[in-house]
Amino acid sequence: MSFIKKFIEQETVSRRNFLLASAYGVAATAAMRMFGPSPAMAATYSDPTVAWSYRNRTNPYWNEIVSGGEAFIESLGKDKSALTHLINEGSSEKSLADVKALLAKTNGELALAIDTNDAPNARPVVESCVEAGAYVSTLWNKTDDLHPWDFGDNYVSHMSWSDEGPAEQTARILLEAIGGKGGVVHLGGIASNNPAIERLNGLKNALKDYPDVELLDAQPADWDTQKANEVMSGFITRYGDEISGVHCANDTIAYGVLEALRAEGMDIPIVSYDGNPQAVGLVAEGKILATVFTNPHWGGGITAALAYYAATGHFKPSEEPNEHREFNGPTIFVTPEDAKAFKASYLDDVPSYDWKDFWGPSNGPIVYK
Amino acid sequence: MKLESLKPHFPWITLVVLVLIVGLINPSFFDPSSLILLVADIVPLFIMAMGMTFVIYIGGIDLSVQQLANVVTVVATVYLANFGVGVALIAIVIGAAFGAVSGYVTTRLFVPSFVSTLAMGFVALSMAKWLSGQRALAMDATMRNDSFGWMFGSTAGIPNELMIAGVLLTIAWFLQARTTFGRALKAVGAGELAAVASGLNVDRVKIIAFAISGVFAAIAGLMFSVKLSGGDANLANGFLLLAIVAVLVGGTPLTGGVGGVVNTAIGTLIVMVIRAAMVYLEVDATQQQMVFGIVLIAAIALTIDRSKLRGVVK
Amino acid sequence: MTATPSVLPDTHNRLNRETLVKWAPLLVLGVLLLLFPFFEWLEDFRAAKDHTYLVDSRFLSIRNFARIAISASPALMVAIGVTFIILMGSIDLSMEGTVSVCAVLFAFLFLGMGGTMGSWAILAIPGALIVGAAMGFINGLVHVKLKIPSFMASLAMGFVGTGLALLLTGGDRIRVEDEAFRSLLTVRWFNFPIMCYVALFGLLVAWFIQSRTTLGRNFYAVGGGEELAKASGLNVNRVRIMGFTLAGVFFAMGALLAVGRIGIAETATGNGFMFVSITAVVVGGTALWGGIGGVWNTLIGVLIVNVINNGMVVIGLPGWVQDGTLGLLVIAAVVLSTDRRAVSFVK
Amino acid sequence: MYELQQVDKHFPGVHALKAIDFKIGRGEIVGLVGENGAGKSTLMKVIYGAYQPDGGTIAVDGKAVRFHNPRQAMDYGIGMVFQEQSLITNLTVAENIFLGFEQQFVKWGVINWKEMTAAARAQLAKVKLDIDPSMITAKLSFAQRQLVELAKVLTLEERVDGDLVILLDEPTSVLAREEVELLFQLVRDLTSRASFIFVSHRMDEVLELSDRIYVMKDGEVVDVVAQREAQVETIQHKMVGRDIDKEYYREQKQLDYERTDPLVSFNNVSRAGGFEDISFDLHPGEVLCLVGTEGSGREAILRTVFGMDAPTSGTVTIKGRQVTRFTAQNGVANGIGYVPRERKIEGIVNGMNVYENMTLSQMDKYASNGVLRIGEEKALARDWIAKLGIKTPSEFKDCAGLSGGNQQKVVLAKWRSGGSDIILLDHPTRGLDIGAKEDVYEMVRAMSADGVGIILVADTLEEAIGLSHSIIVLKDGQFQQRFEGMPGSKPTLFDLVHHMI
């Protein structure tokens, strides 16, 4: 069951296809230039500022996102410092204010990739970008009633990840590992965050097939290592040996859980999410049973690339089908068997992507419930 | 002597100097239309800071404002469908109630406001989490526009948000400078024991100050919720420290009795300029927080009128 | 946030009440230690399980006390640091930044000089303490020399600290894996990991400073009456700066224990320490207006806060109620441990 | 041994000290008197090193010296016992005594408490105070604290080779008469160890204690008198530049009062820790004086009348109605005005201007629906500034910047303009110079003539006798004796002291 191998194959195929496509794209733009700018292209810019707006730099996840953004910038022949960073420090207010300031500064000549920190914040961000004539692609957070196709070309795309399925899969790995009976606990993210909800749902779905396993407790650990450490300590006191497995909403939580177990000299299976390098290392050592890699490097790069190439007129978002404007990112399982291979091909040597292959590694359209 | 008479003007001089520095390095900062937009954007923060001013003016602190705004975003989103514009009233009542309880705990139970408001903030957070079912909620777009569309958009080229801020500032200023409550507030801030010995109901004045802070926080939360068209228990995170900073930089020190809401307006603008400057002057993202801290020290060092701190600087 | 002793203290029954108020934080802790097992008992009673109150309590077990001690140790160090400042009637809000910087620089130094306790890397420990002292020193200088009230000065210094940590790491987390260093968490003497003993040692050092050194006594003098202390020839500015420096050293201790507990140093290492530590100090009975209290009060305060946090999880309180419950319990604890007749007003 | 020659000190716009010559010999007690603003406190600050003179020389044992701070002055044996209680109440007595000089007990960074306590005990023995040095200072009485302060300064003896010069700034202001006697005896005994500079407003005490008296006026020493030549009248004459007549307390203006319809009635009122079983009536136009030592319950009674403290038993009736709610608001509503002793803390609000302070207790009268009519407030302030002759540039002046006498007038104006007809005066002349005191006495008479009932806790016994219609002597919260004090039949000092102690 090597997820990796399959994924790499799939990716290579699509990469090949899209190399062709992009070659065609270059030819097309070149052809257009010969006839001068068409009216439909009037709002595009030859050299827009590219910016990434994200939560903080203290989570490895965001560092991966940023590295993708920088890799993309370098693919344009620029220095990676040309990427403008907006860090919102977990504040929706700052997120919006920074975007507004940047819009004012660049006069709308902006290609923005953003996670708006909180779902409700996406609408005002998108609206102000549209108003200023800038191009924006969103990642993760947006409300369900907000869609790129309602805003013409300027709201280029939204990428998210459907976490419920993969989380269910890791849960199944965990439940198998504990022999299909006993008790498990779940440590979640910030409770209102969408991925936190989906990842817990994934576990609950899997539990339906394991009647002998009890979900002892599920509490939010706010994606935070220290908080996770304390919550896990509490769980150990409350449930003690009843806990036979731990389901963590992401890697940073898993680190805290591991340390809490280590302090007690306990060794029970845990599964995680995100596929950070450190977590992958722990999978390879067998300390974590499985994690899910969502390729934030690619996600960070491609989100910026979509905004950029829409802004330069390389492609016209309104002519793309809806599934090209709202789509799910890739998910890859990392288990002890393939962790080394995975690490070698994705982390030690970050693959160079074709940033014009917008939808190759993506994972189908977003489905709302 | 000259310097002495200049001191009360240091806050706005600092603001002008900052604007000039940023503008001279990057002239596009002076573009009036984008400046107005930047100012309009900071309005919810300003409203929150304005409320906080009343508490800091009497020498206290209100750490619950951010959580109050959070709970209001949830309440506004959940009950918009039932009550329409009426949620504004609910929001204000919630803000006033939480503020009054904080005030009561502080004045009557002798819990320092640092702890009482922090604790009440936790209570508000619990309420927000419970009401929201720990999910991010969205407002129905039509209902939002029908009820609160007037908050945004612009009239005669001036964004409505700024108008609202102006109206609230006028009310707050009037309250502070022209009413018996404002006078009592000043007396409590500058000389609490003398206020007691003059027969003022000091506890009531303080409780009202906390309640006002709560109301303004609620209004800020409501505006933010409408602006973002939704609510959740963390939506207003990040407001708290900035609101405190805005009050302090404006020249209302924690020692009480000095400064006021107009100072806070200037302080909020200083915060806005510093923050926008990071973007305009392309300060590296990893350095921004450090630069913010250093500029903040400089700004506070410039704006506080030490002669009014009276006695020891703690 | 100041209060003045009332002009005419009521002297009746003073001794009894004074003693009661003095021991109130400990009583609160005691009540909590009985309260959580009660909820455990209630739960099992409802489920018709056998459960003898207190005896069968999982909360009231050595293993769980060790868990509480582990989570309390870094917080205790930070809270002790800020206790000195609060004794002077000032406040220090820079702990989050200072802890992050110390943690990160410690990790860099430790890994850079060999990465094991057996090598020169052990010098990273005093190195971190020096970094903490330097941060506190600068904080004190800004406060004293620029005459900025400590609330504002330290708040801004906190931003600078967090920013510096971010700048140093660029957002990366640094893992400190050395077994010898991690023995802080993994090796136990008498059921408690070494880090608890380190924290205990820190507490004793702090107590020693508080009660046996000139500096410690001068904190009380400054808190009791700064102008008067100045008139007695005390160099108050020096005491203040040294106080902030000392606080910085304890923040660095907190940073070391925090790294020892998680094995990771990052910009977020300092997160959350500000409110926890100040709440703990106040809950322990140290007055925010200075001059009253001390490190033992802080120990009780830190334990109260951590017992509440641990207890809420142990009795299975839903996540969303925990914040509010903590808030209400903190208010209750402070109300119980405040001598209401000794203060005329509180801000 | 200590000498100032031609010492000058300027402040912006003020020539505070003009060519001062001052000297003190070994074992001498020198008095220093002068009105407020005469330059006494500036001179003291120069002596103990807080100020540096900008002209003239300071010489110790004939050698010119220059002090940059009080610490350096201490090294030359010059110490100060402060007027305000300068002990830090949360520290122990021993710590207070050695504050700033703990180093002598420190070995390897550790304070040797045993050694410090023993040393403190030795210091306390010098002032004949037998208390445990490890006691918390807050538990001492005011008189004990005063002695501890003296003991603290006397530590200079061990630290300094030369002779000591000790400044005593108003050391008797918080002491009862018998405590003053003890202090004076002690100071006389201590002249074997130190010289003293004694600064006081109480002329009789200065005369009693000092060998020589320096009289200051307008920054100059106008006279130096030896004790045997000194007379109160001549010195006062030199201080104020005019005679203080026998009618200092305006006795000729003292009118009789109606003995019906009391404004305030106390019936067997007690307050735990304050006073016990007190009964009295206050009538319109009456000046009732409460006399007793510090802690005898005088202030506690005032605060109970005002409503700031609630009694534990007994009934308080104000204008015929029994008081049930004891709050300051209620007191103000009943027409009571309170002039507190701590003028700068409880009297005026520093940072608020004259008119804001004046209307603070009666804002509702100058407001419609909570909105202030500031024009009327200012008019009121101008009116009362003129009426009481308050020296202020305008009604916009921050009260913190007014002199003590003018601050007191603002406080009185606050109550009088609000129509208060029961005025509680707690040490109303404390820290005021003679001119300002006379203004206060004038106002007391004027209010009395207007039918205002006044309860007074006076600064001195003379003041109490001079001003009052009736005197109640208290001791340890208990009623001792009542005296009638109409002109011509006033009790003597001795009558009162007899019951106080």
| For chain B, domain boundaries | 2-305
Using the predicted structure, report yes or no on whether residue D486 has a pLDDT greater than 90.
no
**pLDDT score at A65:** 92
Q: Which residue has the higher pLDDT, A363 or B128?
A: B128
Residue D414 touches partner B, C-beta closer than 8 Å: yes
Q: Domain A13-161+295-330 in CATH: superfamily?
A: Response regulator (3.40.50.2300)
Give, as one character, the DSSP assignment of residue A349: S
Cα D69 from chain centroid?
Answer: 26
Q: Residues A140-185: pLDDT tens digits?
A: 888 888 999 999 899 999 999 888 999 999 999 999 999 999 999 9
Q: What residues of chain B, 37 to 66, have a C-beta less than 8 Å from chain C?
A: 58-61
**pLDDT score at B254:** 79
Write out residues in chain A with pLDDT < 70, as ranges: 1-42, 369
Q: Encoding tokens for residue D206?
A: 């200065």
Write down the CATH number for the domain with range B2-305: 1.10.3470
The pLDDT-based confidence of D12 (bands split at 50, 70, 90) is low
What is the C-alpha to C-alpha distance for residues D436 and D416, in angstroms, rounded to an integer? 18
What is the total residue count of chain A? 369
Angle at D457 between CA D456 and CA D461, to 5 degrees: 110
- Contacts (Cβ under 8 Å, ≥6 apart) of B212: B51, B54, B99, B175
CA nearest to C87 within chain D: D90
Whether residue B198 and residue D328 make contact (CB cut-off 8 A), yes or no, is yes
Residue whose pair of structure tokens reads 């849960």 in the numeric block: A171
Residue among A269, A218, A208, A258 at smallest CA distance from A239:
A218
**pLDDT score at A9:** 53
Please report residues of A whose CB lies closer than 8 A to that of C61: 237
- Distance between A201 CA and the closest CA of chain B, angstroms: 13
Each residue of D167-184: b (16+ CB within 10 Å) or e?
bbbbbbbbbbbebbebbb
Residue D330 touches partner C, C-beta closer than 8 Å: no
Which subunits have 3 or more CB–CB pairs within 8 Å of chain D? B, C
Residue C233 touches partner D, C-beta closer than 8 Å: yes
* CATH architecture for the domain at A164-293: 3-Layer(aba) Sandwich (3.40)
What is the total residue count of chain B? 314
DSSP letters spanning A47-105: S-EEEEEES-SSSHHHHHHHHHHHHHHHHTTS-GGGSEEEE-TT-HHHHHHHHHHHHHH
Q: Residues B19-41: pLDDT tens digits?
A: 999 999 988 888 888 888 889 88
What is the C-alpha to C-alpha distance for residues B58 and B186, in angstroms, rounded to an integer? 7
Phi-psi region of C89 (alpha: psi -120 to 50; beta: other; left: phi over 0): left
CA of B166: how far to CAs of B159, B170, C307, in Å? 11, 6, 47
The answer to whether B172 touches B181, Cβ cutoff 8 Å, is: no
The answer to whether D335 touches D421, Cβ cutoff 8 Å, is: yes
Please report residues of D whose CB lies closer than 8 A to that of C223: 90
What is the C-alpha to C-alpha distance for residues B232 and B73, in angstroms, rounded to an integer? 6
Residue B304 touches partner C, C-beta closer than 8 Å: yes
Residue among D49, D46, D151, D157 at smallest CA distance from D99:
D151
Taking residues B173-185, report their average pLDDT: 94
Q: What residues of chain A, 146 to 185, have a C-beta less than 8 Å from chain B?
A: none
What is the C-alpha to C-alpha distance for residues B148 and A93, in angstroms, rounded to an integer? 19
- SS3 label, residue A263: helix
- SS3 label, residue D371: strand
Please report residues of B whose CB lies closer than 8 A to that of A145: 138, 141
**pLDDT score at A38:** 38
Whether residue D273 and residue C232 make contact (CB cut-off 8 A), yes or no, is no
Each residue of C148-183: b (16+ CB within 10 Å) or e?
bbbbbbbbbbbbbbbbbbbbbbebebbbbebeebbe
What domains appear along chain D, each with residue ranges and CATH number? Answer: 2-240 (3.40.50.300), 246-335+423-428+459-501 (3.40.50.300)
Give, as one character, the DSSP assignment of residue D491: P
The pLDDT-based confidence of B73 (bands split at 50, 70, 90) is very high
What is the C-alpha to C-alpha distance for residues D270 and D265, in angstroms, rounded to an integer? 13
The answer to whether D235 touches D33, Cβ cutoff 8 Å, is: yes
Each residue of A341-368: b (16+ CB within 10 Å) or e?
ebbebbbeeeeebbbbbbbbbbbeebee
**pLDDT score at B151:** 86
Taking residues D311-326, report their average pLDDT: 91
Residue D328 touches partner B, C-beta closer than 8 Å: yes
**pLDDT score at A337:** 87
CA nearest to D329 within chain B: B199
- Distance between A255 CA and the closest CA of chain C, angstroms: 8
Closest by Cβ to D99, choosing from C8, C212, C229? C229
Whether residue D88 and residue C221 make contact (CB cut-off 8 A), yes or no, is yes
CA of B139: how far to CAs of A190, B45, B147, B153, B219, in Å? 21, 21, 11, 18, 17
ipTM for the whole complex: 0.86
The two beta strands, D478-484 and D470-475, are antiparallel
Q: Within chain A, which residue ranges are assigned CATH 3.40.50.2300?
A: 13-161+295-330, 164-293
Residue A86 touches partner B, C-beta closer than 8 Å: yes
Whether residue A93 and residue B238 make contact (CB cut-off 8 A), yes or no, is yes
Q: Other C-beta atoms within 10 Å of A175: how many?
A: 25
Angle at A149 between CA A145 and CA A155, to 5 degrees: 90
Write out residues in chain C with pLDDT < 50, as ranges: 1-13
Residue A124 touches partner B, C-beta closer than 8 Å: yes
Q: Other C-beta atoms within 10 Å of B187: how many?
A: 27
- Contacts (Cβ under 8 Å, ≥6 apart) of B6: B13
**pLDDT score at A10:** 52
What is the C-alpha to C-alpha distance for residues B98 and B111, in angstroms, rounded to an integer? 15
CA of B243: how far to CAs of B43, B61, B235, D324, in Å? 11, 11, 15, 44
Using the Cα atoms of residue A350, residue A355, residue A361 and residue A367 in order, give the sign of their dihedral.
positive
Whether residue B198 and residue D308 make contact (CB cut-off 8 A), yes or no, is no
Q: Residues D382-419: pLDDT tens digits?
A: 999 998 888 888 888 888 888 778 888 999 999 989 88
- What count of Cα atoms within 13 Å lies in the side-chain half-sphere of residue D7? 28
Residue A79 touches partner B, C-beta closer than 8 Å: no
Q: Encoding tokens for residue D311?
A: 């009694």
Residue D64 touches partner C, C-beta closer than 8 Å: no
Residue whose pair of structure tokens reads 């160079």 in the numeric block: A352
Residue B125 touches partner C, C-beta closer than 8 Å: yes
Closest by Cβ to D370, choosing from B181, B199, B310? B181
User: Which of B105, B110, B244, B294 to substitute to test the interface with C, most C CBs within 10 Å?
Assistant: B110
Closest by Cβ to B197, choosing from D328, D359, D367? D328
**pLDDT score at A34:** 41
Closest by Cβ to A105, choosing from B77, B138, B280? B280
Q: Other C-beta atoms within 10 Å of C63: how many?
A: 13
Please report residues of C whose CB lies closer than 8 A to that of A191: 319-320
Q: Which residue has the higher pLDDT, D345 or B95?
A: B95
Closest by Cβ to D371, choosing from B178, B190, B193? B178
CA nearest to D335 within chain B: B199
Phi-psi region of D349 (alpha: psi -120 to 50; beta: other; left: phi over 0): beta
What is the C-alpha to C-alpha distance for residues B212 and B215, in angstroms, rounded to an integer? 5
The per-residue pLDDT of chain A, averaged, comes to 85
Which subunits have 3 or more CB–CB pairs within 8 Å of chain C? A, B, D
Q: Encoding tokens for residue B169?
A: 């500032």
Q: Residues D214-269: pLDDT tens digits?
A: 998 878 888 898 888 878 778 877 776 655 555 677 777 777 888 888 999 999 99
Using the Cα atoms of residue D258, residue D259, residue D263 and residue D264 in order, give the sign of their dihedral.
positive
- Distance between D323 CA and the closest CA of chain C, angstroms: 22
What is the C-alpha to C-alpha distance for residues C281 and C295, in angstroms, rounded to an integer? 9
**pLDDT score at A11:** 52
Inter-axis angle of helices C295-314 and C194-212, nearest 10: 150
Please report residues of A whose CB lies closer than 8 A to that of B236: 92-93
The answer to whether D285 touches D465, Cβ cutoff 8 Å, is: no
What domains appear along chain C, each with residue ranges and CATH number? Answer: 24-41+52-336 (1.10.3470)
The answer to whether D74 touches D278, Cβ cutoff 8 Å, is: no
What is the C-alpha to C-alpha distance for residues D121 and D458, in angstroms, rounded to an integer? 36
Residue B126 touches partner A, C-beta closer than 8 Å: no
Residue among B4, B33, B5, B18 at smallest CA distance from B267:
B18
Whether residue C10 and residue D272 make contact (CB cut-off 8 A), yes or no, is yes
**pLDDT score at D138:** 85
- Contacts (Cβ under 8 Å, ≥6 apart) of C255: C74, C98, C99, C100, C102, C103, C106, C128, C132, C265, C269, C270
Using the Cα atoms of residue A5, residue A9, residue A14 and residue A19 in order, give the sign of their dihedral.
positive
Give, as one character, the DSSP assignment of residue D250: -
